[in-house]
Structure 1
């Protein structure tokens, strides 16, 4: 009978979904409190990302019997980052395009005033706003995928260095060894 090797995807998907739910709660919490989404408060969303990535690595370590190599831990973290970034991209697109387009409109107004302060002509501002209105949610979603995967790679490397626990030659169980029966 062949034993099945644990796969990091189950832990990665589980924690990615938990991160998605946490992000949705944080997003609507910030929105309901009328906080500026462009303040430094937006970086609080990276804390659950980091925590859940390390928990993904720890869960995969437990699936492997308590031992995990640097590469295995990195792979688990990377899969978590990929799944999380894809789920968050879908949420961000839906949030900006369908669920809360007023948030997107407010950010466009802020961008428009910043462009005017920089001395851009009205024609340049109108052209930039036209592109942003048409493609803004898609650009935000694609940007999320790219940024979260890069951030996930960095955090996965750090987490793998922390979590790794490789077997020593003395920890390797011998499949042929059987405990001797006590003699009386």
Structure 2
């Protein structure tokens, strides 16, 4: 009897996109209510990422007779992170381009105040702000969202996959 393994990518992308939608709604609520998304409350979004990684890995194991290798888990977690990065980046692009066009300039103003409070010179502040502006264009938000989520998600996946793996015995 030959068993067919479930597809790592189909399970990961299904739960990745569902989780990313949950994360987008969470972020939208924070933005609409005026909560600082770059603060500790915004980092709660990573708990959503971890939860959906775990859900996706559990589902894969369920479809695969209770087994999941470390590599499969790592792939699932990374693909879930990719979905989060893509949807999150697209959401921020739409939000900053059409809903709150002042979002980026408001963030730069807050950054300027924070740098002034640290005692930085005007020249240093201008240099930091201009660098920040080059990285915060709407298109760069998509790129940085994908890169950031892939990097952080990969690191988290290393741990989650190690905990959740259940390797199939060599001889059955």
User: Aligning the two structures, in what range does the TM-score lie when normalised by the shorter sequence?
Assistant: 0.7 to 0.9
In structure 2, the residue corresponding to 1:167 is in which secondary structure?
Answer: coil
CA apart distance, 1:52:
0.4
Structure 2 counterpart of 1:120: 122
Structure 2 counterpart of 1:32: 32
Runs of at least 5 residues in structure 1 that lack an aligned partner in the other structure: 173-184
Q: Is the 8 A contact 2:81 2:150 kept in 1?
A: yes
* CA spacing shift, 1:66–1:130, aligned 2, 3 Å: closer
Q: TM-score, normalised by structure 2?
A: 0.82
Q: Deviations over 1:10-63 (max 9, x none)?
A: 111111212222122212221233222332211111000011011111111112
* CA spacing shift, 1:98–1:23, aligned 2, 3 Å: same
Alpha-carbon separation, structure 2, partners of 1:85 and 1:132: 20
* CA spacing shift, 1:166–1:121, aligned 2, 3 Å: closer
Q: Name which of structure 1's ranges 17-26 and 29-38 shifts more when overlaid on structure 2.
A: 29-38
Runs of at least 5 residues in structure 2 that lack an aligned partner in the other structure: none
Superposed CA RMSD in Å reads: 2.8
Alpha-carbon separation, structure 2, partners of 1:165 and 1:18: 25
In structure 1, the residue corresponding to 2:102 is in which secondary structure?
Answer: helix
Alpha-carbon separation, structure 1, partners of 2:39 and 2:128: 26
Which protein has the larger Cα radius of gyration, Structure 1 or Structure 2?
Answer: 1
Alpha-carbon separation, structure 2, partners of 1:126 and 1:97: 24
Alpha-carbon separation, structure 2, partners of 1:134 and 1:12: 29
